[in-house]
Structure 1
Amino acid sequence: MRAFVLSILLALTTACSVPVAPAPPPPPPPTAAVPPSAQPLVEVVNRVMPVAVRACRSQRTRQRCDFLVALDDSPDIEANAFQTLSRDGRPVIGFTLPLVQQTRNADELAFILAHEAAHHIAGHIARGQNSARIGADLIGGLVAAGGGNDVAIREAQNFGAFLGARRYAQEFELEADALGALIAREAGYDPLRGVMFFQNAPDPGSSFLGTHPPNAARVDIVRRALAGS
C-alpha cells in the first residue's frame, strides 16, 4: 500500500514540475484508485505544487525545482512533514499519514505543504549545512589551539556543528512560514486559517537551541507576510 500511494503522488508532482513548454503530461491516475487516506493530500498537491514550482524557478538559482511529494501511509508512525533532498539532489517533501489526519481542513494541509516547499526554495538545507561547518571549524579550532587531543577536537567539532545547525533553525522556520503563506494564498487557500494548525500543537516556546519558533511568532509572521504583499 505504501508504494502504491507514493507512486500516485509521484505521478501528480511530476506532471507539475516538467520544463517550460513540455509535451502534455499523462493524466493522473483515476480518483477512484486513490486510497481515501491519501485523497486530501493529493488534492492539495495538485493545486499548491505548480505555484511552488513557479516560485522556485523565479529565484533563478541552480537548485532543482522538480519536487517529489511522498506520503508514508503507515498508521503507527509519528505525525510529521519534512523537506529533504534525494541522493541525486531532487527536492523531496514527505508527509506521514498521522500528520495528514491531524489537519482539520485543506487550508492547514496546504499551508504545511507550501511551508515545506519554501524551505527548499529558500535554500535552507545548504544554508544549515554551511552554518554547521562553520560551527564545527570554529569550536574545533578553539579546542585544537588549546592543546586538545584528537578525541576532544572531534567532540568539539560535533558540538560546534550542532550549535551551528541550531543557530538559524527558528529563523528558517519563520522564513518558510512567510514564503509558504504567499504560495498557499496564490494556490487559492487561506494561509491565516492554515497556520492555525500550530495553535493546536505544543508550543515550543523560545528555547535558544529549539528548532521551531513560538506558535505566536508563526502566526504573526504569516499576518505580516500577507499584509506586505
Structure 2
Amino acid sequence: MQATVIRACLGLLLAAMLGACSVAPRQQVVVPHPAAAPQVSAEAVPARLSTQQAADNFIAVARTMQPKIREECLERTQGRQNCNYRILVDERQSTSPNAFQTVDSQGNPIVAFNLALIAEARNPDELAFVMGHEAAHHILGHLQSKSQDAAAGAMILGVLAAATGADATGISQAQDIGASVGSRAYSKDYELQADRLGTIISWDAGFDPARGVLFFNRLSDPGDQFLGSHPPNAQRVMVVRRTIAQLQAGQI
C-alpha cells in the first residue's frame, strides 16, 4: 500500500517539479534539441602528458584562473557572496576524473580537482574550462539552488503522501524520494549555465574554450536521460560554441 501511495505521489511530484511549481524562476540556456546539435569532433585524441607536465599545467592554470574567477564572482554577485576562491587538489585515490565545487568551514568557495582529472587533461585549455565550469556553479548559486530544489521536492511529496493516507514511515520515504527527484529536476539546466559562464571566464583569462571543451571527447556521453544529472555532450558543446560566437561578436 505504501509503495502504491509513493508511486502515485511521485507522479504528481514530477508534474509539479517540471511544471510551474518551482521554488524560484530558473535561468534557461537556449540550445537546439540534442538531435540538431553538432557531433563532438572525433579528431585524434592528444597523447597523455607526463606527470610533471600535467602538474605544471595545473599549477599554471590555477594561478591564472584564480584571480579571473574572483573578479567574475565579485562583478556578478556585487559582494553578496564570498569570492575568496581556493583551488585545491583532491588527493583521494580514484581512477575516475572528477572536479567539484564546495565551501570550507569558513564559507570560502573551493574548486577541487582529483589527480585522475589532472592526469587526463591534455592541455591547459581543458583544465581552464573545467575550472571555470566548477567556479561558475558557485558564482551562480547552484549549491543553494539544488538544496532548495531538494527541500521543495521533499515537502511536495511528503504532503502528497500524507494526504493520501501514508503513515509516518511512508511519509518519510516519500520525502526522501522527493528530495532526490527535486535535487535533479534542474540539474541539466545548471550544467549548461555553468558551461556558458565557464566559457566566459576561461576566455577572459586568455584560454581557448573551444579547445578546452574537447575534454568531452573523452567522457562517456550521458545522453538525454530523464532526470539525469548532465545533458548530452553534444548539447554542451553547442552551448560553448554559441557562447564563443557571442564573445567574438562582442555581444557579451
What TM-score results when the alignment is normalised by the length of structure 2? Answer: 0.74
Point out the more displaced range, 81-90 or 150-159: 81-90
Are 2:243 and 1:215 aligned? no
Could you tell me which of 130, 136, 140 is aligned with 1:122? 140
Per the alignment, in what secondary structure is the counterpart of residue 211 of structure 1? Answer: coil
Q: How many residues align?
A: 195
Distance in 2 (alpha carbons) for counterparts of 1:122 and 1:74: 27
The 3 A distance-change label for structure 1 pair 122 and 226 is same
Q: Shift of the alpha carbon at 1:223?
A: 1.0
| Higher relative contact order, structure no. (Cα contacts within 8 Å, ≥ 6 residues apart) | 2
Partner of 1:155: 173
In the TM superposition, structure 1's runs of 4+ consecutive aligned residues that sit over 4 Å from their partners are 74-77
Partner of 1:56: 73
Distance in 2 (alpha carbons) for counterparts of 1:196 and 1:45: 19
Distance in 2 (alpha carbons) for counterparts of 1:65 and 1:213: 27
Could you tell me which of 140, 160, 185 is aligned with 1:167? 185
Deviations 1:42-82 (A, max 9, x none): 10011111111011001215210001111024554432100
Distance in 2 (alpha carbons) for counterparts of 1:132 and 1:142: 15
1:67-86 matches, within 5 Å, as: 67-74=85-92, 76-86=94-104
Q: Shift of the alpha carbon at 1:208?
A: 1.1
Are 2:50 and 1:43 aligned? no
Partner of 1:200: 218
Consecutive unaligned residues in structure 2, runs of 5 or more? 1-50, 247-251
Contact 1:77 1:96 in 2 (8 A): no
Consecutive unaligned residues in structure 1, runs of 5 or more? 1-34
Per the alignment, in what secondary structure is the counterpart of residue 93 of structure 1? Answer: strand
Identity of aligned residues (%): 43
